[in-house]
Every structure is written in structure tokens, then in C-alpha cells.
Amino acid sequence: MSKAKAITPTSFSFVDNERTYTCTREGLRGVQDDPWWWFSVSSDDRHRYAPFRAEVGDTEASVRPRVVAYYEDLLARRAAPPEPRWRGRGNQGSGPKPAAAPAKPE
């Protein structure tokens, strides 16, 4: 008796939280020997995402939660306030510089 080998789908769609996810397994820039999971979402028609490589043994059931988790995290990061970034040059210090001491007469 032989074990059934997990067949990795090349594409599938599913609905989660009123969003339709369409997933395809394909290579980056047409390189087929390095497949990634690409997906698009019905509520985001601007982008396709390739968050992780396709692995041997991937199934629709194993890929779906990873895709949803990635997209939910992406939405949370988009909604979060931006992190402050320091844009100054050199060490500007945090307060005013002390006044220079008056010159002593000779």
C-alpha cells in the first residue's frame, strides 16, 4: 500500500472575511524552478503579492491560513501611524547650545 502524495495545486481561490483571495503558484519573473505563492485580493485591485516560496507538500489547506495572516498583517501595518524617522544631519543635540563666554580683555 502506497501513501498518497500531496499534490500541490497551481491555483485556487477562496473567500475569507468577505474577501476573495486568488492564489497561484508561479516563479518570479518567469523562473519556474523557484516557485512562489502569488495572490491577489478582491478588495485590493492594485497589487499582487508573493509573500513566501512554494514548498514541497503545500496544499490549499496549508497555504490559505498563511495568505490570510500575511494580508491581515499588511492591513494592520497600513492602518498604523507611521513610525517617526529622524531626518536631521549630524548630531544636532536636543537643546539650545550654551552662549559663548565673553572674551577677556588683555
* Separation between Cα atoms, residue 75 and residue 47, nearest integer Å: 13
User: How many folded domains does the chain comprise?
Assistant: 1
In a domain, 98, yes or no: no
- 19-76 confidence digits (pLDDT tens): 999 999 988 776 667 899 999 999 887 899 999 999 989 999 999 999 999 999 999 9
In a domain, 103, yes or no: no
> What pLDDT does 87 receive?
75
HEC profile of the chain: CCCCCCCCCCEEEEEECCEEEEEEEEEHHHCCCCEEEEEEECCEEEEEEEEEECCCCCCHHHHHHHHHHHHHHHHHHHHCCCCCCCCCCCCCCCCCCCCCCCCCCC
Is the confidence at residue 1, as pLDDT, over 50?
no
> What pLDDT does 105 receive?
66
Neighbours of 84 (CB within 10 A): 6
- 74-90 confidence digits (pLDDT tens): 999 999 998 888 877 66
Note down the domain range covering 29.
Answer: 11-79
* Separation between Cα atoms, residue 88 and residue 91, nearest integer Å: 8
